[in-house]
Chain A
Amino acid sequence: MSPPGGQSPASTPLLRVEHLTMRFGGLTAVDDVSFEAADRQITAIIGPNGAGKTTVFNCLTGFYKPTVGRLTLEHPDRGRHLLERMEGYQIPQHAGVARTFQNIRLFGAMSVLENLVVAQHNALMRASGYTFTGLLGGRGYRRAEREAVELARYWLDLVRLTDRADEPAGSLPYGGQRRLEIARAMCTRPVLLCLDEPAAGLNPRESAELRDLLLHIRDRERVGLLLIEHDMTVVMSISDHIVVLDYGRKIADGEPREIRDDPNVIRAYLGEEEDEALPPEVVADRQSARQPGC
C-alpha cells in the first residue's frame, strides 16, 4: 500500500491511517480517510460539526472497531502496532496512545493526585506484584508509588494544580478539569496524545496557556499530538500539519498556510454559495462564531 496523499515527513510517520471507514448501520461516519501524523509534531484534525473527527479518535483509541482500514502506530520505543486489531485498553497500555474526551471524563470523587496515579496503573500493578506482594507491603512497591507521585507532581506543577492536589477532581473549575485531563493522559507516558477539543469552553487567557502546554508536550516531552479543535486561533498557531474532514471524507491535508487558502476548505466551512475566497481571519472568526463553546 502506497502512502496516501499529503506530504510525508522524511522519517517514518508515528501514526499512519489508511483507508479508514466507519459505518453505523446505514450511516457512513468516516469514509475512506487516510492521513499520517509525524512524531513530535502537532497534527490537527478540523472540520465542521459531524464531519467524523471524534469517530476517527474513537477508532484510533479502540472504542470503535473500524469497518475498513488499517491504523499503524510505529515508535522506536514501543515497536509497531496495528491499532485496529487491539482491545481498547491495550492501546494505551502497549501502543502508547493516550486521549482526552470532548466532555471531560475525570474520576470526579477521587482526588486530583489520585487521578494522576490511576493513570500509571499498569506500571504500578507490575510494581505491586499484581497486588500479591503489594498486600504484604513490599519495598519495591513503595518506591514505585513514590516515583509515580513524583511524575504526578511534575505534571501538577506544569498544569498549575499543585495546591489542589488533594481535592476531589470534580470540584475543580472547568479550565482546571481540562488541564487535569491532559496531565492524566500524559501520566500514562504516551508516544501519541489525542486531544478532543481541548480549548472548548476556555477563555482567551486559558486558551493561550493551553497553547504553551501543548507546545511543551511536543518539544520537551517529545510526543506526537493529534488534535481536534474548533478554535482556529489555536489550530493555526501551533499545528504543524492539518487534516480537514467534511461529511466523513478528507477534503484537504497540508500545512496551515496551504489549508488557509484551500478553496475546498473555505467552501466546506462557508457553504457553496460563497464565490470569492475570504481572508482566513474571517474564516476563523465565522467558524468560532458558528460553534460557540462546543
Chain B
Amino acid sequence: MTATVQTPGRAATPPPRPLDRRRLLVDAALTALVVLALSFALVGFKIEDVPGGLDLLLRFDDVVVAAALAFLVRLGVDLLGAGRPLPVLATSLALAGALAGLLVAEQGQTEPGALTRWLPFGAVVVDWLVVMIALGFAARAAADLWRRRATVAPVATEASTIAATLRVATRVLGPLLLGVAVTLPFLPEVDRRILDIAILVVTYVMLGWGLNIVVGLAGLLDLGYVAFYAVGAYSYALLAQSFGFGFWTCLPFAGIMAGFAGILLGFPVLRLRGDYLAIVTLGFGEIVRVVLLNWYQFTGGPDGISGIPRPTFFGLELTRTASGGGETFHGFFGLTYSPTDRIIYLYYIVLALALLTNAFTMRIRKLPIGRAWEALREDEIACRSLGINPRNTKLTAFSIGAMFGGFGGAFFATRQGFISPESFTFIESAIILAIVVLGGMGSQIGVVFAAVLLIGLPEIFRDLQQYRMLAFGGAMVVIMLWRPRGLLARRRPTIHLPPEGAGR
C-alpha cells in the first residue's frame, strides 16, 4: 500500500554452497513421483469415443516425459537456489535448442509427422511451452552468472528502482494509453479484427472499473457482478423489443434498473461479511441466470433475444441502407459506406462509457462518500464509531457498481444484437473480478493492464482456442503467486495537506 513496491526475497545471488547431491536428487525424484501420480490416470489414459461405447487409449510416453521434465525443473530450481547456474544454463540451452530444432525441422518437413515421434507430447504448442520454460531457466541462470561477475551488485536497489520506474511509467502511461485508445481506429495496421478485440478489452476495462468501486474501494467481495450486467442487457433488449426504444434512450434505464437490482440484493445481504457476501452474491448471480433461462414468455429462455437494435448516431443509422424512413450516417455526411464504420462507432461508444466510469470513480474518490467507502474497507467498526452509516454507505457502493455493470450490459446487448443466458455465467463474474484483483485492488490503470493481459492476449492467440481458458486460469494463478497484491498495487492519497496558510 505504501509507495514503495516490495519485491520479496532475492537478495544477492546466493554464494555457492557445498552441494548436498543426495538431497538434490531425492527432492527432484519426489517431485517427479508426484507428477507421475498426478498424470498417471488423467494423462496416461484417454477415454475415446468409439462406436458402441468408450475405449481407452494409452499415452504413457507423455506421463514419462512429464515426470522427467518435472525432475529437471525441480533440479534446476534447487541448483539455482544453491548458486550453481552453470549446469542449469548448459542443460536448459541444450534442451531448448534440441527441441526447437526438431520443431522447426518438423514444420519444414514436406511429409508431416515424420519427426513427430521424436517430439514429446502430441501438441506442438505444449512443446513450444517447454522450449519457453527452458529458455526462462537459461535466462535466469545467465543473469545469476552475470551478476556474480559484476563487481558492484546492483541487486540491493532493485526493488526501489522498479518502484521508481513504475511510478514514472504510470504517470506517463495514463495519457499515452488514452492517446492510443482515442486514435486506435485510425492507426495503421488496425483492421476490423483488432477493433473487435479492442471493443472487447475496453468493455472489460469498463466492467473492471465498475466493479473496482465495489471491490477495490468499498472492499465488498462481489462474485455475482454478471447479474447486473445481465439485468442491464435484458433491460435494454426488452425495452427495445417491446416499445421500440433506441439504445440511447434505454442506456440510462438499463443502468437504473441494474442499480435498483443492486439495492434490492444489497439491502438484505450487505451486513454479511467477506466470504459470506461473496457466496451470496454468487448465488444471486446464478439465480438471475436460471430465471432468465426458464422464464420463457418474458426472456425467450435459452433462445435469448435477437434483433436488438444497433445504436444510432443522433438518429442516423450506421447501415448500408436505412430501415423504414430513417437516414444513414454515410448518406447524411456524403461518405462512402464502409461496414467498419459501425465497428468504429461501437468502439467509441464503449470507450466513452469506460472513460465516464473512470472519471466518475476518480471524482467520487475525493468526495466524502468515496473516502467513507475506503474507510469501510479498512475498518467497519471504526467507521461506525465515527458516525458513518455502514449499511447505506455499502449500499451506495454496491448499487453504483451495479449501475455501471448495467451500462456495460446495455452496450453488450447492442453490440451483439443478440443475448441469451449463455453469456452471463459465473465465469464472466470471475473474469471481471480477476481483472480487478490482478490489476491491484483500487488501481485504475492496473485494471487496464490486467484486461489487456487477460482478455486481449488470449483473443489475439485465438488460433490456440483450446488452450485459451487453460492459459487464462494458469495466468490467474501465476500472476497472483508472483504479485499477491496485484500488478500495480499503489494507493495515492485523495487529499494532501496544503502548506500552512495556502488558499486562505
Contacts and interface: CB of A to CB of B under 8 A. Distances in A.
Q: Do chains A and B touch in the complex (CB under 8 A)?
A: yes
Interface of A: 61-63, 87-93, 98-99, 101, 105-111, 113-115, 117-122, 124-125, 128, 131, 134-135, 141, 145-146, 149, 152-153, 156, 162, 165-166, 168, 170-171, 184-185, 188
11 contacts: A88-B385, A89-B389, A99-B385, A107-B379, A108-B378, A114-B494, A114-B495, A117-B368, A135-B367, A149-B498, A152-B497
Interface string B380-415: 011111111110000010000000000000000000
Contacts of B95: none
B9 interface: no
Given A118-B375, A135-B364, A166 B386 contact: no
Contacts of B462: none
Contacts of B428: none
Contact of B372 (A113, A121, A135, A153): A121
Q: Could you say which of A91, A121, A156 has the most chain B C-beta atoms within 10 Å of its C-beta?
A: A121
A89 B388 CA distance: 6
A131 B378 CA distance: 21
Interface string B345-369: 0000000000000001001100111
A135 B503 contact: no
A61 B385 contact: yes
B374 interface: yes
Contact of B496 (A92, A124, A166): A166
Contact of B369 (A61, A110, A131, A153): A131
Given A89-B387, A93-B387, A131-B364, A111 B493 contact: yes
Given A105-B379, A110-B378, A168-B2, A188 B497 contact: no
B382 A105 contact: yes
A119 B384 CA distance: 10
Contacts of B396: 131
Contacts of B372: 118, 121
A249 to B, nearest CB: 27
Given A61-B385, A92-B387, 7 more contacts: A90-B387, A105-B381, A108-B378, A113-B497, A114-B493, A118-B375, A188-B386
A110 B388 contact: no
A63 B381 contact: yes
B19 interface: no
Contacts of A90: 387
Contacts of B493: 110-111, 113-114, 166
Contact of A114 (B1, B371, B383, B500): B371
A120 B369 CA distance: 11
B378 A107 contact: yes
A131 B388 contact: no
B192 interface: no
Contacts of A88: 384-385
Contacts of B378: 106-110
A117 B371 contact: yes
B491 interface: yes
A134 B386 contact: no
Given A107-B378, A165-B497, A134 B385 contact: no
Contacts of B381: 63, 101, 105
